[in-house]
C-alpha cells in the first residue's frame, strides 16, 4: 500500500499533512472508528440514566401515572379539575378511594328541591286557564255576533268618551292579586250592567240588539287590557279576547290567517 494515498478510500492522494484526501473521507472514517472508541472509553458523560421508579403511594390519585405535586392528591390542575367534575365515575387509583369527593354528593340532591316548584307550576297554569274560562263566560254578546257574521269590531258603535270623566285610580295591588277579586264580582257587575273597569261606575254599553256589554266605552275596553284585568287579543293586543278564541274580533282573526 502506498503511503501517499488516502487512508479511507486508498485511491486519492492525501491532502497536505492530513490522513485523508478530503472532508468526505475524513467524515466516513470518523463514523467507522467512533463506536470502537466509545466502547473502549466507556459510557459518555451525556448518557441518560433512567429515573428511579416512583412509589405507588406517591402517584396521582386520578391518572396514576405522574407523581403527586408536593402534598396534594393530584399531579396537576388538569387531573384535579377532572376528578372534581366526575367524583363518582372515577374509579379509585391503586386500591385507594378517591378522597374528599364524597362531600360533594349532596349537591346532586339539589335538583330534587327545585323539582317541587316545577311540579306546582303546571297546576298554577291550569288554575289560570280555568280562571280565563270563567272570564270567557261573560264575553261581550255583540263580539260573538260579529264573529258569526265575519265582520270586524264596530268601534263607532260605542259612545264617545267624556272629557270630564275622572281617570280611574291605578290598582294598589299587583295585577295578579287584583284580577282574582275581579273574577268573583264579574258575574254581579255583568248582571247589574256596570262597567268592569274599577272606579268607573258607569252603566255598560248596550248594542243595537239590546245586549249589554262589559264596558261603557271603547277606551275602557282598551284600558282593561292595559291594567291586566283581562287577557288581550294576541293579534292587536289592545282589546279583550272573545269567549270563542284568543282574538278580540273576526278582523284580527282573519288578519292572523293572512300572515301564516
User: Bigger pLDDT: 153 or 60?
Assistant: 60
| Residue 36 and residue 46 in contact, taking contact as beta carbons nearer than 8 Å | no
Q: Is the pLDDT of residue 79 over 70?
A: yes
Query: In this predicted model, which residue has the larger pLDDT, 93 or 13?
Result: 13
pLDDT at 73: 86
Q: What is the pLDDT of residue 212?
A: 78
Full DSSP string of 181-224: HHHHHHHHHHHHTB-SSTT--PBPPB-TTS-B-S-SSHHHHHHH
Residue with cell 284580527: 252
The pLDDT assigned to 188 comes to 41
Structure-model confidence comparison of residues 91 and 260, the more confident one: 260
What pLDDT, on a 0 to 100 scale, did the predictor assign at position 217? 86
Segments of 86-207 assigned E as strands: none
The model's confidence at residue 256, banded by pLDDT at 50, 70 and 90, is: confident
Residue 192 has pLDDT above 70, yes or no: no
Query: Which triple of cell numbers denotes residue 88?
Result: 363518582
- Dump pLDDT digits (tens) for 195-250: 888 888 888 788 788 877 788 888 888 888 888 888 888 888 888 888 788 888 88
How high is the pLDDT of residue 105? 45
Cα-based angle 209, 215, 218 (whole degrees, multiple of 5): 90
CA distances from 218 to 197, 238, 246 (A): 12, 10, 19
> What pLDDT, in 10s, does the model give residues 128-187?
444 444 444 444 444 444 444 444 445 555 555 554 455 556 555 544 444 444 444 444
**DSSP secondary structure code for residue 3 in this structure:** T
What is the rounded CA–CA span in Å between residue 170 and residue 189? 19
58 confidence band (pLDDT: 50, 70, 90): confident
194 DSSP β-pair partners:
203
- In the chain, the DSSP E strands lie at none
- Tell me the H-state helices in 11-86: 23-41, 77-85
Tens of pLDDT, residue by residue over 21-37, are 888 888 988 887 665 44
CB neighbour class for 68 (10 Å; exposed up to 12, middle 13-18, buried from 19): middle
**Structure-block grid coordinates of residue 150:** 265575519
pLDDT at 4: 83
Place of cell 416512583: 54
What is the reported pLDDT for 183?
42
For the stretch 89-127, pLDDT in tens is 445 445 454 444 444 444 444 444 444 444 444 444 444
Q: What is the pLDDT of residue 260?
A: 59
pLDDT at 64: 86
pLDDT of residue 133: 46
Amino acid at each position: 500500500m502506498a503511503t501517499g494515498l488516502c487512508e479511507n478510500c486508498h485511491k486519492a492522494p492525501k491532502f497536505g499533512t492530513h490522513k485523508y484526501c478530503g472532508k468526505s473521507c475524513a467524515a466516513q472514517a470518523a463514523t467507522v472508528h467512533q463506536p470502537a472508541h466509545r466502547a473502549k472509553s466507556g459510557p459518555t458523560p451525556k448518557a441518560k440514566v433512567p429515573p428511579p421508579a416512583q412509589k405507588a403511594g406517591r402517584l396521582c390519585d386520578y391518572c396514576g401515572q405522574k407523581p403527586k405535586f408536593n402534598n396534594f392528591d393530584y399531579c396537576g390542575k388538569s387531573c384535579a379539575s377532572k376528578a372534581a367534575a366526575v367524583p363518582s365515575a372515577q374509579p379509585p387509583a391503586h386500591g385507594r378511594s378517591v378522597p374528599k369527593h364524597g362531600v360533594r354528593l349532596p349537591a346532586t340532591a339539589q335538583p330534587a328541591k327545585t323539582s317541587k316548584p316545577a311540579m306546582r307550576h303546571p297546576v298554577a297554569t291550569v288554575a289560570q286557564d280555568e280562571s280565563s274560562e270563567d272570564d270567557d263566560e261573560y264575553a261581550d254578546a255583540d263580539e260573538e255576533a260579529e264573529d258569526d257574521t265575519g265582520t270586524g269590531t264596530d268601534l263607532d258603535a260605542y259612545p264617545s268618551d267624556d272629557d270630564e270623566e275622572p281617570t280611574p285610580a291605578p290598582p294598589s295591588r299587583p295585577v295578579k292579586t287584583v284580577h282574582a277579586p275581579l273574577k268573583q264580582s264579574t258575574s254581579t257587575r255583568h248582571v247589574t250592567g256596570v262597567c268592569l273597569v274599577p272606579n268607573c261606575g258607569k252603566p255598560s254599553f248596550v248594542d243595537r240588539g239590546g245586549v249589554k256589554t262589559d264596558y261603557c266605552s271603547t277606551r275602557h275596553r282598551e284600558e282593561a287590557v292595559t291594567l291586566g284585568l283581562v287577557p288581550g287579543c294576541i293579534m292587536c293586543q289592545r282589546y279583550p279576547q272573545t269567549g270563542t278564541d284568543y282574538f278580540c274580533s273576526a278582523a284580527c282573526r282573519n288578519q292572523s290567517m293572512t300572515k301564516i
